[in-house]
């Protein structure tokens, strides 16, 4: 009797199947061959017949070459770190596509010679913060602090309030980050109260700079005191201010959130910030300061290792000069408009109610700010089912219900949201109801 495993089709024969040939064109030969090999192995193990190999390989193909999936953020957290922080604007997405091929990122088309890298993005950044004598971009805000410490305080002290030695995402702590450069942390004050004299007493020949960190992911109330930028600027040491979440100018919705323009105007020598939080752009570390300090940072050997790529530069420039970003639109959305959208959506969705709710800024920014919002409330069991849909929808559980907060859902996503909820109800009503 002939072994049925001998009838398992060969890889080269399977690659002639039009479905797999098209997948090879869009997904790549290596990925398609790995899927085919898995199907062939199942046939050899007797789980499927040899005649089913092609169909099973086609069914196992991923929809895209990358594992990341687009997600509808219905959590009400505007800058959601676990969902990629700031969603890019359509202008920024178009800019990334434009920059994906050969570009003049570091080339002068008029002269045919090398040009300053990312001059368009840097120019836009300088125009956005007119109080800066110079600007620079690295790959995130931690990198901005790292470069600052390596440039201004190698083997020296960084004077910082004990109450500002914060921990940022995923367990990274600012003092450990700075000490990794060879600098030493000189803590002053206490957890809840630090005075100007504490800084003044600590400054000496070993001082590299004074660091003021905005504790953007928490706030302390009660018996507290902190020293403002104008007072620190009068001390005999360079003043570096980490504003964290990346406002470039004051924002009416976030009156207590520091911004780069004001920090420099009040006397900071250098300001660091994130590009993918309140600015609403790509991941980047933004540096603003005096021309002399920025030039020193830019010329440090480590600056090359921390530089951003052409895609980030393109997205950053489009964010700065283009239309309002999704983050900006979410922050300024009117609750009456959100409620009206919720009513329209609820009328189309089985088991849905309109609810008033509260959204958050997120991304380690403005932790004490709440944003009145509106959304759609569904039975709790919808939460898991919606996360498993296409596209996945991520809401939040609140009072035993799955709430889809519309402050973080763009109006252009409403149709997708209706389709996702309807599909959930239709495909597995018992699990979703």
367 has a pLDDT exceeding 80? no
430 has a pLDDT exceeding 60? no
How does residue 225 score in pLDDT terms, banded at 50, 70 and 90? confident
For 126, list phi and psi in degrees, rounded to 5: -65, -40
Mean pLDDT within 268-291: 97
- Note the pLDDT tens digit of each residue in 314-344: 999 999 999 999 999 999 999 999 999 999 9
251 has a pLDDT exceeding 90? yes
- Note the pLDDT tens digit of each residue in 381-404: 999 999 999 899 999 999 999 999
**Domains 72-81+327-432 and 89-323 agree in fold:** no
Q: What is the pTM of this model?
A: 0.89
pLDDT of residue 283: 97
Mean pLDDT within 339-364: 92
Mean pLDDT within 184-213: 94
pLDDT of residue 153: 96
- Note the pLDDT tens digit of each residue in 15-60: 999 999 999 999 999 999 999 999 999 999 999 999 999 999 999 9
How does residue 2 score in pLDDT terms, banded at 50, 70 and 90? low
Mean pLDDT within 270-289: 97
pLDDT of residue 205: 96
Mean pLDDT within 253-263: 93
pLDDT of residue 167: 76
pLDDT of residue 298: 96
The proportion of the chain whose per-residue pLDDT surpasses 70, expressed as a percent, equals 96
How does residue 1 score in pLDDT terms, banded at 50, 70 and 90? very low
Q: Which of 45, 49, 44, 54 is nearest to 11 (CA)?
A: 54
Output the average pLDDT for the chain.
92
How does residue 351 score in pLDDT terms, banded at 50, 70 and 90? confident
237 has a pLDDT exceeding 70? yes
How does residue 168 score in pLDDT terms, banded at 50, 70 and 90? confident
**Domain chopping of the chain, boundaries:** 4-60, 72-81+327-432, 89-323
pLDDT of residue 297: 97
pLDDT of residue 224: 79
Third-level CATH fold of 89-323: 3.40.640
pLDDT of residue 39: 94
Specify the range with the lowest mean pLDDT, choosing from 213-222, 272-281, 355-364.
213-222
Q: Which of 272, 270, 275 is nearest to 294 (CA)?
A: 270
221 has a pLDDT exceeding 90? no
Class of domain 72-81+327-432: alpha beta
How does residue 170 score in pLDDT terms, banded at 50, 70 and 90? low
pLDDT of residue 433: 45
pLDDT of residue 223: 79
How does residue 222 score in pLDDT terms, banded at 50, 70 and 90? confident
């Amino acid at each position: 009797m002939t072994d049925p495993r001998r009838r398992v089709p060969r890889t080269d024969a399977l690659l002639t199947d039009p479905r797999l040939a098209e997948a090879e064109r869009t997904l790549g030969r290596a990925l398609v061959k790995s899927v085919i090999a898995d199907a062939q192995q199942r046939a050899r193990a007797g789980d499927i017949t040899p005649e089913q190999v092609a169909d099973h390989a086609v069914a196992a193909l991923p929809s895209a070459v990358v594992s990341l999936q687009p997600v509808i953020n219905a959590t009400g957290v505007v800058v959601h770190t676990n969902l990629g922080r700031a969603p890019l604007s359509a202008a920024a997405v178009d800019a990334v596509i434009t920059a994906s091929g050969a570009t003049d990122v570091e080339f002068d088309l008029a002269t045919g010679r090398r040009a300053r890298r990312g001059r368009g993005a840097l120019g836009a950044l300088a125009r956005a913060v007119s109080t800066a004598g110079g600007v620079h971009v690295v790959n995130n805000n931690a990198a901005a602090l790292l470069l600052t410490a390596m440039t201004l305080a190698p083997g020296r002290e960084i004077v910082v309030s004990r109450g500002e030695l914060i921990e940022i995402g995923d367990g990274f702590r600012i003092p450990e980050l700075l000490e990794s450069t060879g600098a030493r942390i000189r803590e002053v004050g206490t957890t809840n109260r630090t005075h100007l004299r504490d800084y003044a007493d600590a400054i000496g020949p070993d001082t590299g700079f004074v660091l003021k960190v905005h504790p953007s992911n928490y706030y302390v109330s009660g018996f507290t005191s902190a020293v403002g930028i104008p007072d620190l600027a009068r001390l005999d040491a360079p003043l570096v201010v980490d504003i964290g979440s990346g406002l470039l100018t004051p924002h009416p919705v976030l009156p207590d959130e520091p911004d780069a323009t004001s920090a420099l105007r009040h006397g900071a020598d250098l300001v660091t910030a994130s590009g993918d939080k309140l600015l609403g752009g790509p991941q980047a570390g933004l540096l603003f300061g005096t021309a002399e300090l920025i030039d020193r940072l830019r010329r440090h050997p480590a600056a090359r290792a921390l530089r951003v790529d052409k895609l980030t530069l393109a997205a950053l420039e489009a964010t700065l000069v283009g239309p309002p970003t999704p983050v900006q639109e979410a922050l300024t959305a009117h609750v009456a408009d959100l409620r009206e959208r919720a009513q329209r959506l609820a009328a189309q969705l089985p088991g849905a109610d309109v609810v008033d709710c509260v959204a958050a800024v997120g991304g380690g920014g403005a932790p004490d700010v709440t944003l009145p919002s509106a959304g759609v409330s569904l039975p709790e069991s919808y939460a898991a089912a919606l996360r498993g849909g296409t596209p996945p929808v991520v809401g939040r559980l609140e009072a035993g219900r799955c709430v889809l907060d519309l402050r973080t859902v763009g109006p252009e996503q409403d149709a997708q949201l209706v389709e996702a909820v309807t599909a959930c109800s239709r495909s597995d009503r018992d699990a979703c109801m």
